[in-house]
C-alpha cells in the first residue's frame, strides 16, 4: 500500500433540519484513503453512503469534522480554492454519464483539459491514450446518441481520468448498464487502478460491483460497521460481501 494519504476524514458528522427537528445522517466517521486504494462503500438505504460521497467529493459540507483532500482541509478553504481543487484533484463518474449530446465522444473526453487551456496536441494525445485503454478508439468521432450505454460510461470514465486527478468518485457507475457492459466497465476500472493511474472510491448497492474493489466498507445507521479486504480471490470476496449484507439486513437497493 502507498503511504500517501489522498483523503482523510475525522469525526465526520452530518445533520439535516432545524435545531429542534434535526436528523443525524453521519455519526462521527473516520476514514483514510491512500493513493492506489480502490474502495467500495455499501450500506442499506438511508445508511448515509450518498451523503458521505457528497461530502468527500466536496459537493456538500459536514456539520462537524475534518475533511482533508490532498493535504488541504476542504472545510476551511475559500470557494475559489475549492473550485480549483475540484478541477485539478477530483474526477467524477455518475450513473447517467453526463456526456454533452452536441459534442463527439473525443471532445467530451477532452473537455476538462481543453477548458484548462492545455496544448491541443497534448489534449489529443491524452484522449487517444485513454480511449485505447477503454476500447473506444473506433467511437471517438461518434456522438453520444450513437453509442451504447457501456461505451458512454467508459467515455465518462476517460473524461474523469484525463486530468490525472488524485481521486475518482464513482456513484453507482454500473447502475444504468446491462451485466456485460457493467462487467467491462469494472474490469477497466480495476485495470487503471492496478496500473497506478487512479485511486477510486465507489458507492454501490451491488455486491458484484463491490467485489472489484480492494476493500469494502459497510455503512449502517450513519457509522462504518466493518471493513473487508478482497485478498486474491474475487469470487470468494463476493461471497463474503453477500454474507455481510445478509447479516446487516435492510434494503441495499
Q: Which three cell numbers stand for residue 190?
A: 480495476
Tell me the per-residue pLDDT of 121-166, one tens digit each, with 9 for 90 and over: 999 999 999 999 999 999 999 999 999 999 999 999 999 999 999 9
Is the per-residue pLDDT at 252 higher than 70? Answer: no
- Return the DSSP state at 214: S
> C-alpha cell of 58?
466536496
- Cα 20 to its chain centre, rounded Å, is 34
What does each C-alpha distance from 165 to 16, 92, 94, 240, 246 come to in angstroms? 30, 10, 16, 31, 35
pTM passes above 0.85: yes
CA-to-CA dists, residue 37 to 128, 181, 248, angstroms: 25, 23, 24
Q: What 3-state class would DSSP assign to 117? A: coil
Q: What is the pLDDT of residues 70-93, one digit of tens each?
A: 889 998 899 899 988 988 899 999
Q: What does the pLDDT look like over 107-119, one tens digit per residue?
A: 999 999 998 889 9
- 207's CB contacts (< 8 A; 6+ apart) are 42, 238, 241, 242, 245
E strand or H helix at 12, and its extent? strand 5-16
pLDDT, residue 242, reads 92
253 pLDDT band, cuts 50/70/90, is: low
- Give the closest residue to 67 by CA, choosing from 124, 126, 110, 8: 8
d(CA 7, CA 31): 8
Q: Which tens digits make up the pLDDT trace of 21-62? A: 899 999 999 999 999 999 999 998 888 999 999 999 999 999
| Residue 210 pLDDT greater than 70, yes or no | yes
Q: What is the largest CA-CA distance in the chain?
A: 58
Q: What is the pLDDT of residue 251?
A: 65
Q: Could you tell me what percent of the chain has a pLDDT over 90?
A: 76
Amino acid at each position: 500500500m502507498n503511504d500517501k494519504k489522498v483523503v482523510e476524514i475525522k469525526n465526520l458528522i452530518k445533520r439535516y433540519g432545524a435545531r429542534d427537528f434535526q436528523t443525524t445522517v453521519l455519526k462521527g466517521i473516520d476514514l483514510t484513503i491512500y493513493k492506489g486504494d480502490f474502495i467500495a462503500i455499501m450500506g442499506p438505504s438511508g445508511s448515509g453512503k450518498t451523503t458521505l460521497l457528497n461530502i468527500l467529493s466536496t459537493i456538500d459540507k459536514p456539520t462537524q469534522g475534518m475533511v482533508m483532500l490532498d493535504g488541504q482541509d476542504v472545510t476551511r478553504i475559500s470557494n475559489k480554492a475549492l473550485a480549483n481543487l475540484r478541477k485539478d484533484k477530483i474526477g467524477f463518474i455518475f450513473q447517467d454519464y453526463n456526456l454533452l449530446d452536441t459534442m463527439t465522444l473525443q471532445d467530451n473526453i477532452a473537455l476538462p483539459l481543453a477548458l484548462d487551456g492545455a496544448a491541443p496536441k497534448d489534449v489529443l494525445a491524452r484522449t487517444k491514450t485513454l480511449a485505447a485503454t477503454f476500447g473506444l478508439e473506433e467511437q471517438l468521432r461518434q456522438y453520444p446518441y450513437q453509442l451504447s450505454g457501456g461505451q458512454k460510461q467508459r467515455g465518462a470514465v476517460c473524461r474523469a481520468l484525463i486530468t490525472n486527478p488524485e481521486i475518482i468518485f464513482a456513484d453507482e457507475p454500473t447502475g444504468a448498464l446491462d451485466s456485460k457492459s457493467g462487467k467491462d466497465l469494472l474490469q477497466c476500472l480495476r485495470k487503471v487502478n492496478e496500473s497506478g493511474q487512479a485511486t477510486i472510491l465507489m458507492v454501490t448497492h451491488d455486491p458484484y460491483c463491490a467485489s472489484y474493489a480492494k476493500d469494502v466498507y459497510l455503512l449502517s445507521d450513519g457509522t462504518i460497521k466493518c471493513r473487508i479486504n478482497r485478498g486474491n480471490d474475487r469470487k470468494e470476496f463476493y461471497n463474503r460481501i453477500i454474507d455481510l449484507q445478509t447479516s446487516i439486513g435492510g434494503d441495499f437497493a
